[in-house]
Structure 1
Amino acid sequence: MNWLEKLKKNDTARRVLVFILLGIVLYLLRSMIDLILLTFIFAFLVTRLENVILKRIRIPRKLIVIVLYCLVAMFLYIAIVHFLPILIDQISQLVDSLVKIYNNPSDNTIVQWIVGFLKESNIQKYLQTGVDFIIASLSGIGSVGLSFFLALILSLFFSLEKERVTSFTGQFLTSKVGFIFKEAAFFGKKFVATFGVVLEAQLMIALVNTVITTIALYLMNFPQLLSLSIMVFVLGLIPVAGVIISCVPLVLIAYSVGGFQDVIYILITVVIVHAIETYILNPKLMSSKTNLPIFYTFVILIFSETFFGVWGLIVGIPVFVFLLDILDVRNSEDIQKRTIFGRKKKVD
Structure 2
Amino acid sequence: MVDFFRSNGFKRFIILIGVAVALYLMWSMINLILLTFIITYLMNELSTSVTKRLRRIAPINEKAVIVTLYLLLVAGIVAVIYKYLPVVSQQITQLFNLIAAFNLNPNDNEIARYLAPTFEKIELGKYLEQGVDLTLTNLTNIGKVIMHVFIALILSLFILLEKKRITEFTAKFKDSKIGPLYDELTYFCKIFVRSFGKVIEAQFVIAAVNCVVSVIALYFMGFPHLIALGIMLFILGLIPVAGVIISLIPLSIIAYSIGGLMHIVYILIIVVVLHALEAYFLNPKLMSAKTNLPIFYTFIVILFSEHFLGVWGLIIGIPLFMFLLDILGVTSVPEVDLQKKVTVQDNKEKPID
Which residue of the other structure, out of 7, 13, 19, is the alignment partner of 2:16? Answer: 19
CA separation of 1:125 and 1:261: change in aligned 2, threshold 3 A = closer
Report the counterpart of residue 219 of structure 1 in structure 2: 220
Report the counterpart of residue 41 of structure 1 in structure 2: 38
Q: Distance in 1 between matches of 2:299 and 2:51?
A: 39
Q: Distance in 2 between matches of 1:133 and 1:214?
A: 26
Q: What is the alpha-carbon root mean square deviation over aligned residues? A: 2.4
| Letter in structure 2 aligned against 1:105 | L
Aligned 1:81-230 pairs, distance under 5 A = 81-101=82-102, 104-107=103-106, 108=108, 109-111=110-112, 113-114=114-115, 116-118=117-119, 120=121, 130=131, 134-230=135-231
| Letter in structure 2 aligned against 1:14 | K
Q: Distance in 2 between matches of 1:230 and 1:193?
A: 28
CA separation of 1:80 and 1:318: change in aligned 2, threshold 3 A = same
Give yes or no for the alignment of 1:291 onto 2:288. Answer: no
Work out the number of aligned pairs and report it: 329
Structure 1 position 110, deviation (Å):
3.2
Q: Distance in 1 between matches of 2:282 and 2:116?
A: 33
Report the counterpart of residue 303 of structure 1 in structure 2: 304
* Secondary structure of the structure 2 residue equivalent to 1:329: coil
Q: Distance in 2 between matches of 1:332 and 1:283?
A: 12
| Letter in structure 2 aligned against 1:196 | G
| Letter in structure 2 aligned against 1:268 | I
Contact persistence 2:291–2:333 (CA under 8 A): no
Report the counterpart of residue 260 of structure 1 in structure 2: 261
Structure 1 position 45, deviation (Å):
1.0
CA separation of 1:127 and 1:221: change in aligned 2, threshold 3 A = closer
Structure 1 position 129, deviation (Å):
7.4
Contact persistence 1:195–1:318 (CA under 8 A): yes
Deviations 1:2-29 (A, max 9, x none): x9xx97x632222111111111101111
List alignment gaps of at least 5 residues for structure 2. 337-353
Structure 1 position 117, deviation (Å):
3.6
CA separation of 1:118 and 1:183: change in aligned 2, threshold 3 A = farther
Q: Distance in 1 between matches of 2:127 and 2:273?
A: 28
Report the counterpart of residue 330 of structure 1 in structure 2: 331
Contact persistence 1:301–1:316 (CA under 8 A): yes
Q: Distance in 1 between matches of 2:231 and 2:47?
A: 26
Normalised to the residue count of structure 2, the TM-score between the two structures is: 0.86
| Letter in structure 2 aligned against 1:203 | F
Give yes or no for the alignment of 1:55 onto 2:56. Answer: no
Calculate percent identity across the aligned residue pairs: 48
Q: Distance in 2 between matches of 1:171 and 1:256?
A: 64
Report the counterpart of residue 231 of structure 1 in structure 2: 232
| Letter in structure 2 aligned against 1:95 | F
Deviations 1:108-165 (A, max 9, x none): 3434644544555687897587557535532322322221111011001111111111
Report the counterpart of residue 339 of structure 1 in structure 2: none
| Letter in structure 1 aligned against 2:104 | P
List alignment gaps of at least 5 residues for structure 1. 336-348
Q: Distance in 2 between matches of 1:327 and 1:71?
A: 40
Deviations 1:225-244 (A, max 9, x none): 11011111110111111111
Normalised to the residue count of structure 1, the TM-score between the two structures is: 0.87
Q: Distance in 2 between matches of 1:215 and 1:147?
A: 31
Q: Distance in 1 between matches of 2:15 and 2:133?
A: 38
* Secondary structure of the structure 1 residue equivalent to 2:279: helix
Structure 1 position 289, deviation (Å):
3.5
Q: Distance in 1 between matches of 2:142 and 2:324?
A: 32
* Secondary structure of the structure 2 residue equivalent to 1:289: coil
Contact persistence 2:96–2:132 (CA under 8 A): no
CA separation of 1:125 and 1:94: change in aligned 2, threshold 3 A = closer
Q: Distance in 2 between matches of 1:334 and 1:124?
A: 54
Contact persistence 2:93–2:132 (CA under 8 A): no
Contact persistence 1:289–1:324 (CA under 8 A): no
